[in-house]
Amino acid sequence: MDPVAATTLPIPGLLLAGSVAALAASLWLLLPKTSDTVNSRRLGFLLGAAALIGFAATGRSLGGVGEDAVFLTVAGIAVISGLATIVTRSPVYSAIWFAMALAGVSGVLLVLGAQFLGVATIVVYAGAILVMFLFVLMLAQPSGMAPYDRVSNEPMLAAAAGAVLLGLLTLSIGRLSAAEPPACCRLPSRAQAMAAAPTEGAGSEDDRSATLLAPATAGVESVDADEVAHLGAELFGRHLFAVEVAGVLLLVALVGSIAVVSRGEATETDHRRESR
Amino acid sequence: MIPATLLTNALLVGAVLFCLGLVGILTRRNLIVMFLSAELMLQGVSVTLVAWSRYHGDWGGQVLVVFVLTVAACEAAVALVFVLQAFARTGRLDASAWQALREENLPRVIDHGLPADDRVVPTWPHLSPAGVLPEGDDSRSLERDHV
């Protein structure tokens, strides 16, 4: 069933170590520090690009999808924008970069075939949550750049910890892809059995995806037109109680935030009492 | 159903996003940027969940991501209210403004060697004057040349 995973090369260790080191150095150089210069940031950008290329090569050694231009593009947008989100000095630019990262993540979800979630990410995150962030920034941002935006807590330790964690995750993903055949063959077949049970036409679809023409086209072809309907049936069928609980949670959050805001009127008097 | 190669690549993207968000929430001091970093970590987890869900042909992962979206919306609403309240009390969006809440045996964070206000002086285009000079109004004082 899975010839690609069986023939997967193990991750080249030197490449991974180099990528991790480049990522740590790049994060340390790019994070806001008091000793920043233009040249150090430039070097950080270069090292970041090197780390990105290294991780892309690692992903390619895990499978042939590194050649899928669409996936590579949207993943690159997501990762680069995510990096820019955490290293930008200005919180407004940070929020805008986060919107770009959301666009990239939405593209990745669409490539994966989760159409509803790809659209919902844009609508809910970029449309609602991010606008709320920008409103708060407009209400709360002091004019000019605040000094606390130009320093960060322990940038070296944090960058090293994040890069090492990423290296460990990559290693475990690589071990996963070079996994034993029974584990990786049993699960898709069980899923295929589940998928083939309700409908008649699912058999031919499985045959088509089993040929594995190219990974990208197989992924696109396996997208069923009723994806949203299936997700809705699952959501409102098996997980109906959880949907109700989520609705109650939304209501409680709404009431709670309004309650806290209207209690905020009291903080004005608190201020006056403190200053007196 | 997606092939295993797409699964591993999507897992890699999710891991990168998660680690970037982790570094951001550990280092940055602006409350809003810390919050954005937490959302970035959520995005990484969402990509991972959807990849596994599509690989196994099981809807559980995507259903979980739907609930992650819901809880993230609630969390953002409540937490941004708290951020606004914190700003109203201290006048700063600085996490270190609340270091009075730290443990007793921990040292106090003192900012020394903070860079002076290094805002870039904007270079305006040089235009030849034409017409009458408009009178200055108060609304111009609200404009910022730097965000």
Q: Are A4 and A64 in contact (CB under 8 A)?
A: yes
Distance from C-alpha of A23 to C-alpha of A30, rounded to nearest angstrom: 10
pLDDT higher than threshold 90 for residue A82: yes
Q: Are B33 and B39 in contact (CB under 8 A)?
A: no
Sign of the CA dihedral running B43, B45, B46, B48: positive
A224 at B interface, C-beta within 8 A: no
pLDDT tens per residue across span A200-247? 444 444 444 443 333 444 444 455 678 889 899 999 999 999 999 999
- Using CA atoms, how far residue A92 sits from A123, A142, B9, B22, in Å, is 20, 12, 31, 20
Inter-chain CB proximity A62 and B119 less than 8 Å: no
Residue A151 resides in a domain = yes
Residue A243 resides in a domain = no
- State the amino acid at position A38 in one-letter form: V
Burial class (CB in 10 A: 0-12, 13-18, 19+), A108: buried
Residue A219 resides in a domain = no
Inter-chain CB proximity A191 and B57 less than 8 Å: yes
pLDDT tens per residue across span B108-127? 877 766 665 555 566 778 88
Inter-chain CB proximity A222 and B1 less than 8 Å: yes
pLDDT of B147: 54
Distance from C-alpha of A232 to C-alpha of B59, rounded to nearest angstrom: 10
Interior CA angle at A14 toward A13 and A20, to 5°?
Answer: 90
Inter-chain CB proximity A152 and B28 less than 8 Å: yes
Residue A47 resides in a domain = yes
CB-CB neighbors (< 8 A) of A268 in chain B: 88
Give CB contacts under 8 A, 24+ apart, made by A15-19. A15/A54, A15/A57, A15/A58, A15/A61, A16/A54, A16/A58, A16/A167, A16/A170, A16/A171, A17/A167, A18/A54, A19/A50, A19/A51, A19/A54, A19/A55, A19/A57, A19/A58, A19/A167
Distance from C-alpha of A63 to C-alpha of B6, rounded to nearest angstrom: 7
pLDDT of A149: 82
pLDDT tens per residue across span A43-78? 988 999 998 888 888 877 776 655 578 888 999 999
The residue of chain A with its CA nearest to that of B11 is A173
Residues of chain B below pLDDT 70:
112-122, 137-147
Residue A78 resides in a domain = yes
pLDDT higher than threshold 80 for residue A266: no
In the numeric block, which tokens belong to residue B87? Answer: 């700003």
What average pLDDT does chain A have? 77
How many structural domains does chain A have?
Answer: 1
Inter-chain CB proximity B117 and A144 less than 8 Å: yes
Tell me the CATH number for domain B4-95: 1.10.287.3510
pLDDT of B140: 60
| Residues 67-96, chain A, touching B (beta carbon < 8 A) | 68, 71, 75, 78-79, 82-83, 85-86, 90-95
SS (H, E, C) chain A: CCHHHHCCCCCCHHHHHHHHHHHHHHHHHHCCCCCCCHHHHHHHHHHHHHHHHHHHHHHHHHCHHHHCHHHHHHHHHHHHHHHHHHHCCCHHHHHHHHHHHHHHHHHHHHHHCCHHHHHHHHHHHHHHHHHHHHHHHHHHCCCCCCHHHCCCCCHHHHHHHHHHHHHHHHHHHHHHHCCCHHHHHHHHHHHHHHHHCCCCCHHHHHHHHHHCCCHHHHHHHCCCCCHHHHHHHHHHHCCHHHHHHHHHHHHHHHHHHHHHHHHCHHHHHHHHHHHC
Q: What does the DSSP 8-state code read for residue B41?
A: H
User: What's the complex ipTM?
Assistant: 0.80
CB-CB neighbors (< 8 A) of B118 in chain A: 145, 150
Please, which residues bridge with residue B94 across strands?
Answer: B30
Closest in B29, B62, B69 to A114, CB measured: B62
> Taking each helix axis from N to C terminus, what angle separates B31-56 and A181-196, rounded to the nearest 10 degrees?
80
pLDDT higher than threshold 70 for residue A115: yes
Domain range for residue A94? 3-177
CATH code of the domain covering residue A88:
1.20.120.1200
CB-CB neighbors (< 8 A) of B85 in chain A: 260-261, 264, 267
Inter-chain CB proximity B46 and A117 less than 8 Å: yes
Min distance B127 CA to chain A CA atoms (Å) = 26
pLDDT of A215: 41
Min distance A257 CA to chain B CA atoms (Å) = 5
| pLDDT range class, residue A267, cuts 50, 70, 90 | low
| pLDDT range class, residue A86, cuts 50, 70, 90 | very high
